[in-house]
Structure 1
Amino acid sequence: MIPHGKQTESRGGEPANASDHQPACPQDIHAVLREMTALLAEQRVEIRQLQRDNEAQAEKLEGQRTEVNNLKQQLQAKQVAFSASLLASGEGTIGPINAHTLLVFRRVVTNIGNAYNPNTGFFIAPVRGAYHFEFYIGAGGHNSHATGAWLVKNGEHICIAWAHQSNLYGSSANGATLLLEVGDVVFVRQYHNTRIYDNENHLSTFSGHLLFTM
Protein backbone atom coordinates (compact mmCIF):
# COMPACT_ATOMS: atom_id res chain seq x y z
CA MET A 1 0.00 0.00 0.00
CA ILE A 2 1.32 3.42 -0.95
CA PRO A 3 -0.04 6.45 0.84
CA HIS A 4 -2.13 8.59 -1.43
CA GLY A 5 -0.06 11.63 -0.93
CA LYS A 6 3.17 9.89 -1.69
CA GLN A 7 1.76 8.26 -4.82
CA THR A 8 0.61 11.61 -6.15
CA GLU A 9 4.06 13.15 -5.52
CA SER A 10 5.75 10.36 -7.31
CA ARG A 11 3.58 10.64 -10.36
CA GLY A 12 3.80 14.35 -10.62
CA GLY A 13 7.56 14.78 -10.06
CA GLU A 14 10.52 14.15 -12.39
CA PRO A 15 12.42 10.80 -12.09
CA ALA A 16 15.74 11.15 -10.28
CA ASN A 17 17.72 9.60 -13.17
CA ALA A 18 15.90 11.15 -16.11
CA SER A 19 19.04 12.90 -17.35
CA ASP A 20 20.73 9.55 -17.98
CA HIS A 21 18.32 8.80 -20.80
CA GLN A 22 18.64 12.08 -22.69
CA PRO A 23 20.04 11.84 -26.32
CA ALA A 24 23.66 12.93 -26.98
CA CYS A 25 24.14 16.58 -27.58
CA PRO A 26 24.87 17.49 -31.26
CA GLN A 27 27.75 19.65 -30.10
CA ASP A 28 29.45 16.57 -28.60
CA ILE A 29 29.16 14.64 -31.89
CA HIS A 30 30.75 17.50 -33.83
CA ALA A 31 33.63 17.63 -31.35
CA VAL A 32 34.25 13.90 -31.78
CA LEU A 33 34.19 14.26 -35.55
CA ARG A 34 36.65 17.12 -35.37
CA GLU A 35 39.01 15.04 -33.23
CA MET A 36 38.78 12.09 -35.65
CA THR A 37 39.43 14.37 -38.63
CA ALA A 38 42.49 15.88 -36.94
CA LEU A 39 43.77 12.38 -36.05
CA LEU A 40 43.36 11.19 -39.62
CA ALA A 41 45.22 14.25 -40.89
CA GLU A 42 48.09 13.53 -38.50
CA GLN A 43 48.19 9.91 -39.66
CA ARG A 44 48.34 11.01 -43.30
CA VAL A 45 51.28 13.26 -42.49
CA GLU A 46 53.04 10.40 -40.69
CA ILE A 47 52.37 8.04 -43.62
CA ARG A 48 53.83 10.55 -46.10
CA GLN A 49 56.90 10.95 -43.89
CA LEU A 50 57.32 7.17 -43.69
CA GLN A 51 57.05 6.98 -47.48
CA ARG A 52 59.75 9.65 -47.86
CA ASP A 53 61.94 7.82 -45.34
CA ASN A 54 61.49 4.56 -47.25
CA GLU A 55 62.39 6.25 -50.54
CA ALA A 56 65.49 7.77 -48.94
CA GLN A 57 66.51 4.38 -47.55
CA ALA A 58 66.00 2.78 -50.98
CA GLU A 59 68.20 5.45 -52.61
CA LYS A 60 70.83 4.92 -49.92
CA LEU A 61 70.82 1.15 -50.47
CA GLU A 62 71.12 1.64 -54.21
CA GLY A 63 74.08 3.96 -53.67
CA GLN A 64 75.70 1.38 -51.41
CA ARG A 65 75.21 -1.33 -54.05
CA THR A 66 76.84 0.91 -56.64
CA GLU A 67 79.76 1.60 -54.31
CA VAL A 68 80.22 -2.12 -53.63
CA ASN A 69 80.23 -2.86 -57.36
CA ASN A 70 82.79 -0.12 -57.94
CA LEU A 71 84.98 -1.53 -55.17
CA LYS A 72 84.73 -4.99 -56.73
CA GLN A 73 85.82 -3.59 -60.08
CA GLN A 74 88.72 -1.75 -58.46
CA LEU A 75 89.74 -4.89 -56.60
CA GLN A 76 89.72 -6.88 -59.82
CA ALA A 77 91.79 -4.17 -61.50
CA LYS A 78 94.34 -4.42 -58.68
CA GLN A 79 94.90 -8.13 -59.26
CA VAL A 80 97.76 -7.95 -61.74
CA ALA A 81 100.36 -10.62 -62.51
CA PHE A 82 101.82 -12.06 -65.69
CA SER A 83 104.52 -14.37 -66.97
CA ALA A 84 105.46 -15.18 -70.56
CA SER A 85 108.25 -16.94 -72.44
CA LEU A 86 109.92 -15.71 -75.60
CA LEU A 87 108.97 -18.23 -78.31
CA ALA A 88 105.40 -19.36 -78.87
CA SER A 89 106.70 -22.89 -79.62
CA GLY A 90 109.79 -24.81 -80.67
CA GLU A 91 113.35 -23.56 -80.41
CA GLY A 92 115.29 -20.72 -81.93
CA THR A 93 117.62 -17.76 -81.59
CA ILE A 94 116.72 -14.10 -82.04
CA GLY A 95 119.51 -11.89 -83.37
CA PRO A 96 122.05 -10.62 -83.90
CA ILE A 97 120.39 -7.36 -84.98
CA ASN A 98 122.37 -4.16 -85.42
CA ALA A 99 119.94 -2.08 -83.31
CA HIS A 100 118.26 -2.36 -79.93
CA THR A 101 115.07 -4.36 -80.60
CA LEU A 102 111.84 -4.86 -78.69
CA LEU A 103 111.37 -8.44 -77.50
CA VAL A 104 107.87 -9.88 -77.70
CA PHE A 105 107.33 -12.75 -75.27
CA ARG A 106 104.60 -14.65 -77.09
CA ARG A 107 103.84 -17.71 -74.96
CA VAL A 108 101.67 -16.50 -72.08
CA VAL A 109 101.81 -18.58 -68.91
CA THR A 110 99.79 -16.22 -66.69
CA ASN A 111 98.11 -12.92 -67.44
CA ILE A 112 95.87 -11.94 -64.53
CA GLY A 113 94.37 -8.54 -65.25
CA ASN A 114 95.39 -8.70 -68.94
CA ALA A 115 97.94 -5.92 -68.50
CA TYR A 116 100.54 -7.72 -70.64
CA ASN A 117 100.02 -7.87 -74.41
CA PRO A 118 101.69 -10.88 -76.11
CA ASN A 119 101.27 -9.23 -79.52
CA THR A 120 103.25 -6.10 -78.67
CA GLY A 121 105.41 -7.22 -75.73
CA PHE A 122 104.17 -4.26 -73.69
CA PHE A 123 103.04 -4.33 -70.07
CA ILE A 124 100.76 -1.32 -69.42
CA ALA A 125 100.08 -0.42 -65.79
CA PRO A 126 96.32 -0.44 -65.04
CA VAL A 127 96.66 1.26 -61.63
CA ARG A 128 99.20 3.45 -59.86
CA GLY A 129 101.42 1.35 -57.64
CA ALA A 130 104.66 -0.51 -57.04
CA TYR A 131 105.36 -3.36 -59.47
CA HIS A 132 108.14 -5.95 -59.54
CA PHE A 133 109.55 -7.27 -62.82
CA GLU A 134 112.03 -10.04 -63.66
CA PHE A 135 113.42 -11.24 -66.97
CA TYR A 136 115.65 -14.16 -67.91
CA ILE A 137 117.51 -14.58 -71.21
CA GLY A 138 119.01 -17.73 -72.61
CA ALA A 139 122.60 -17.49 -73.87
CA GLY A 140 123.70 -19.95 -76.52
CA GLY A 141 127.50 -20.03 -76.71
CA HIS A 142 129.01 -17.96 -79.53
CA ASN A 143 132.47 -16.51 -80.06
CA SER A 144 131.38 -13.21 -81.60
CA HIS A 145 128.02 -12.38 -80.04
CA ALA A 146 127.01 -12.01 -76.41
CA THR A 147 123.51 -12.20 -74.96
CA GLY A 148 121.98 -9.05 -73.51
CA ALA A 149 118.69 -7.29 -72.87
CA TRP A 150 117.37 -4.21 -71.06
CA LEU A 151 114.37 -3.77 -68.81
CA VAL A 152 112.73 -0.58 -70.12
CA LYS A 153 110.17 1.79 -68.57
CA ASN A 154 108.63 4.36 -70.93
CA GLY A 155 111.77 4.28 -73.08
CA GLU A 156 114.17 4.54 -70.11
CA HIS A 157 116.69 1.72 -69.63
CA ILE A 158 116.31 0.49 -66.05
CA CYS A 159 118.69 -2.48 -65.82
CA ILE A 160 120.46 -4.98 -68.09
CA ALA A 161 121.03 -8.73 -68.12
CA TRP A 162 124.25 -9.78 -69.90
CA ALA A 163 126.17 -12.97 -70.62
CA HIS A 164 128.96 -13.94 -73.06
CA GLN A 165 130.54 -17.31 -73.52
CA SER A 166 132.08 -19.01 -76.51
CA ASN A 167 130.31 -22.37 -76.17
CA LEU A 168 127.70 -24.38 -74.25
CA TYR A 169 124.61 -22.81 -72.75
CA GLY A 170 124.35 -20.01 -70.21
CA SER A 171 121.78 -17.49 -69.03
CA SER A 172 121.46 -14.13 -67.39
CA ALA A 173 118.72 -12.41 -65.42
CA ASN A 174 117.81 -9.17 -63.73
CA GLY A 175 114.84 -7.43 -62.19
CA ALA A 176 113.59 -4.27 -60.53
CA THR A 177 110.72 -2.82 -58.54
CA LEU A 178 109.19 0.22 -60.23
CA LEU A 179 106.69 2.88 -59.23
CA LEU A 180 104.29 3.12 -62.17
CA GLU A 181 101.53 5.54 -63.01
CA VAL A 182 98.42 4.44 -64.86
CA GLY A 183 99.40 3.90 -68.51
CA ASP A 184 103.16 3.54 -67.95
CA VAL A 185 104.73 0.98 -70.27
CA VAL A 186 107.34 -1.63 -69.32
CA PHE A 187 109.01 -4.05 -71.75
CA VAL A 188 112.26 -5.86 -72.51
CA ARG A 189 114.60 -4.62 -75.25
CA GLN A 190 117.30 -6.79 -76.82
CA TYR A 191 120.78 -5.24 -76.84
CA HIS A 192 122.10 -4.64 -80.34
CA ASN A 193 124.28 -7.33 -81.98
CA THR A 194 123.38 -9.93 -79.34
CA ARG A 195 121.71 -13.35 -79.55
CA ILE A 196 118.92 -14.63 -77.30
CA TYR A 197 118.01 -18.30 -77.25
CA ASP A 198 114.79 -20.06 -76.25
CA ASN A 199 113.31 -23.52 -76.67
CA GLU A 200 110.48 -25.75 -75.49
CA ASN A 201 111.85 -25.51 -71.92
CA HIS A 202 111.06 -21.77 -71.93
CA LEU A 203 114.50 -20.49 -70.97
CA SER A 204 113.84 -16.83 -71.77
CA THR A 205 110.98 -15.27 -69.80
CA PHE A 206 109.48 -11.95 -68.75
CA SER A 207 107.35 -11.68 -65.58
CA GLY A 208 105.84 -9.01 -63.37
CA HIS A 209 103.19 -8.39 -60.74
CA LEU A 210 101.63 -5.61 -58.71
CA LEU A 211 103.03 -5.42 -55.17
CA PHE A 212 100.61 -2.78 -53.85
CA THR A 213 98.71 0.27 -55.04
CA MET A 214 99.61 3.84 -54.09
Structure 2
Amino acid sequence: MYVAFSASLLASGSGTIGPFNTQTNLVFRYVFSNIGNAYNPNTGFFIAPVRGAYHFEFHVYGPGDPSHASGAVLFKNRERVCIAYEHQSSGGVKSSNGATLLLEVGDVVFLRLWENSKIHDNSNHHSTFSGHLLFTM
Protein backbone atom coordinates (compact mmCIF):
# COMPACT_ATOMS: atom_id res chain seq x y z
CA MET A 1 0.00 0.00 0.00
CA TYR A 2 1.20 3.49 -0.84
CA VAL A 3 0.28 6.43 1.39
CA ALA A 4 1.79 9.91 1.11
CA PHE A 5 0.55 13.49 1.17
CA SER A 6 1.88 17.01 1.07
CA ALA A 7 -0.10 20.23 1.38
CA SER A 8 0.37 23.93 2.03
CA LEU A 9 -1.85 26.11 4.17
CA LEU A 10 -3.77 28.32 1.75
CA ALA A 11 -5.67 27.13 -1.32
CA SER A 12 -4.80 30.40 -3.07
CA GLY A 13 -3.70 33.96 -2.42
CA SER A 14 -1.82 35.26 0.57
CA GLY A 15 -2.85 35.49 4.20
CA THR A 16 -2.12 35.12 7.88
CA ILE A 17 -4.08 32.96 10.33
CA GLY A 18 -4.12 33.91 13.99
CA PRO A 19 -3.51 34.92 16.62
CA PHE A 20 -6.16 33.15 18.73
CA ASN A 21 -6.16 32.81 22.51
CA THR A 22 -6.44 29.01 22.27
CA GLN A 23 -4.90 26.33 20.09
CA THR A 24 -6.79 26.14 16.78
CA ASN A 25 -6.82 23.32 14.23
CA LEU A 26 -5.01 24.12 10.98
CA VAL A 27 -6.36 22.96 7.64
CA PHE A 28 -3.81 22.72 4.84
CA ARG A 29 -5.94 23.24 1.74
CA TYR A 30 -3.52 23.33 -1.21
CA VAL A 31 -2.71 19.68 -1.89
CA PHE A 32 0.48 18.88 -3.79
CA SER A 33 -0.15 15.13 -3.57
CA ASN A 34 -2.50 12.82 -1.69
CA ILE A 35 -1.58 9.27 -2.63
CA GLY A 36 -4.01 6.92 -0.93
CA ASN A 37 -6.38 9.79 -0.01
CA ALA A 38 -5.63 9.53 3.72
CA TYR A 39 -5.34 13.34 4.10
CA ASN A 40 -8.55 15.38 4.11
CA PRO A 41 -8.01 19.00 2.90
CA ASN A 42 -11.42 20.00 4.32
CA THR A 43 -10.62 18.98 7.91
CA GLY A 44 -6.81 18.97 7.98
CA PHE A 45 -6.87 15.41 9.34
CA PHE A 46 -4.66 12.56 8.20
CA ILE A 47 -6.35 9.26 9.08
CA ALA A 48 -4.18 6.17 9.02
CA PRO A 49 -5.57 3.57 6.58
CA VAL A 50 -3.25 0.77 7.79
CA ARG A 51 -1.20 -0.05 10.89
CA GLY A 52 2.37 1.07 10.34
CA ALA A 53 5.19 3.51 10.87
CA TYR A 54 4.52 6.94 9.36
CA HIS A 55 6.76 9.97 9.11
CA PHE A 56 5.35 13.52 9.31
CA GLU A 57 7.00 16.90 8.92
CA PHE A 58 5.72 20.44 9.04
CA HIS A 59 7.09 23.88 8.25
CA VAL A 60 5.59 27.01 9.77
CA TYR A 61 6.24 30.48 8.37
CA GLY A 62 5.22 33.64 10.17
CA PRO A 63 5.57 37.37 9.78
CA GLY A 64 7.95 38.85 12.33
CA ASP A 65 5.89 40.49 15.06
CA PRO A 66 6.99 41.90 18.43
CA SER A 67 3.82 40.59 20.12
CA HIS A 68 3.15 37.22 18.45
CA ALA A 69 5.29 34.22 17.67
CA SER A 70 4.75 31.65 14.96
CA GLY A 71 4.10 28.07 16.03
CA ALA A 72 2.23 24.85 15.36
CA VAL A 73 1.81 21.58 17.27
CA LEU A 74 1.66 18.09 15.78
CA PHE A 75 -1.04 15.90 17.35
CA LYS A 76 -1.68 12.16 17.25
CA ASN A 77 -5.32 11.74 18.26
CA ARG A 78 -5.52 13.93 21.39
CA GLU A 79 -1.82 13.63 22.28
CA ARG A 80 0.62 16.46 21.64
CA VAL A 81 3.69 15.06 19.88
CA CYS A 82 5.98 18.01 19.07
CA ILE A 83 5.99 21.72 18.29
CA ALA A 84 7.65 24.05 15.79
CA TYR A 85 7.94 27.52 17.36
CA GLU A 86 9.86 30.69 16.60
CA HIS A 87 9.57 34.34 17.62
CA GLN A 88 11.32 37.40 16.28
CA SER A 89 10.17 40.99 16.20
CA SER A 90 10.59 41.74 12.48
CA GLY A 91 11.17 40.13 9.10
CA GLY A 92 9.98 36.61 8.42
CA VAL A 93 10.47 33.56 10.58
CA LYS A 94 10.28 29.85 9.80
CA SER A 95 10.45 26.80 12.03
CA SER A 96 9.95 23.11 11.41
CA ASN A 97 9.72 19.76 13.13
CA GLY A 98 8.77 16.19 12.43
CA ALA A 99 8.27 12.76 13.93
CA THR A 100 7.95 9.10 13.02
CA LEU A 101 4.87 7.59 14.66
CA LEU A 102 3.43 4.11 15.00
CA LEU A 103 -0.21 4.46 13.97
CA GLU A 104 -3.11 2.07 14.24
CA VAL A 105 -5.89 2.04 11.64
CA GLY A 106 -8.04 5.13 12.25
CA ASP A 107 -5.49 7.13 14.24
CA VAL A 108 -5.70 10.83 13.39
CA VAL A 109 -2.71 13.14 12.90
CA PHE A 110 -3.17 16.90 12.50
CA LEU A 111 -1.70 20.30 13.35
CA ARG A 112 -2.92 23.04 15.64
CA LEU A 113 -1.82 26.65 15.64
CA TRP A 114 -0.10 27.41 18.96
CA GLU A 115 -2.07 29.86 21.11
CA ASN A 116 -1.38 33.56 20.53
CA SER A 117 0.70 32.85 17.44
CA LYS A 118 0.39 33.42 13.69
CA ILE A 119 1.05 31.40 10.56
CA HIS A 120 1.39 32.87 7.07
CA ASP A 121 1.26 31.41 3.58
CA ASN A 122 1.11 32.62 0.01
CA SER A 123 1.63 31.33 -3.53
CA ASN A 124 5.21 30.39 -2.58
CA HIS A 125 3.80 27.74 -0.19
CA HIS A 126 5.92 28.57 2.87
CA SER A 127 3.78 26.67 5.42
CA THR A 128 3.45 22.96 4.69
CA PHE A 129 2.36 19.66 6.26
CA SER A 130 3.49 16.33 4.80
CA GLY A 131 3.50 12.69 5.74
CA HIS A 132 4.00 9.21 4.36
CA LEU A 133 3.84 5.56 5.29
CA LEU A 134 7.32 4.14 5.83
CA PHE A 135 6.21 0.51 6.21
CA THR A 136 3.24 -1.52 7.40
CA MET A 137 3.36 -3.59 10.59
The TM-score bracket by the shorter chain reads: over 0.9
Match in the other structure for 1:89? 12
Bigger relative contact order (CA 8 A; separation at least 6): 2
Q: CA RMSD in A?
A: 0.4
CA distance in 2, matches of 1:124, 1:166: 36
Matched, 1:160 2:83: yes
> Which of these residues, 74, 78, 97, is aligned with residue 174 of structure 1?
97
Q: Which runs of 4+ in 1 moved over 3 A?
A: none
**Alpha-carbon contact 2:70-2:93 (below 8 Å) kept:** no
Larger Rg: 1
Matched, 1:190 2:91: no
> Which of these residues, 28, 37, 40, is aligned with residue 114 of structure 1?
37
Match in the other structure for 2:63? 140
Q: Cα distance, 1:131 vs. partner?
A: 0.1
AA of the residue aligned to 1:134? E
Task: Please list every run of 5 or more consecutive structure 1 residues that lacks an aligned counterpart in the other structure.
Answer: 1-77
Match in the other structure for 1:5? none
Question: TM-score of the superposition, structure 1-length normalised?
Answer: 0.64
AA of the residue aligned to 1:211? L
Match in the other structure for 1:128? 51
Bigger share in helix: 1
**Alpha-carbon contact 2:64-2:91 (below 8 Å) kept:** yes
CA offsets 1:5-35 (integer angstroms, 9 cap, x no match): xxxxxxxxxxxxxxxxxxxxxxxxxxxxxxx
AA of the residue aligned to 1:135? F
Alignment of 1:1-214 (within 5 A): 78-214=1-137
CA distance in 1, matches of 2:32, 2:129: 10
Question: TM-score of the superposition, structure 2-length normalised?
Answer: 0.99
Q: Cα distance, 1:170 vs. partner?
A: 1.4
Q: Cα distance, 1:110 vs. partner?
A: 0.3
AA of the residue aligned to 2:116? N
Task: Please list every run of 5 or more consecutive structure 2 residues that lacks an aligned counterpart in the other structure.
Answer: none
AA of the residue aligned to 1:138? Y
Match in the other structure for 1:46? none
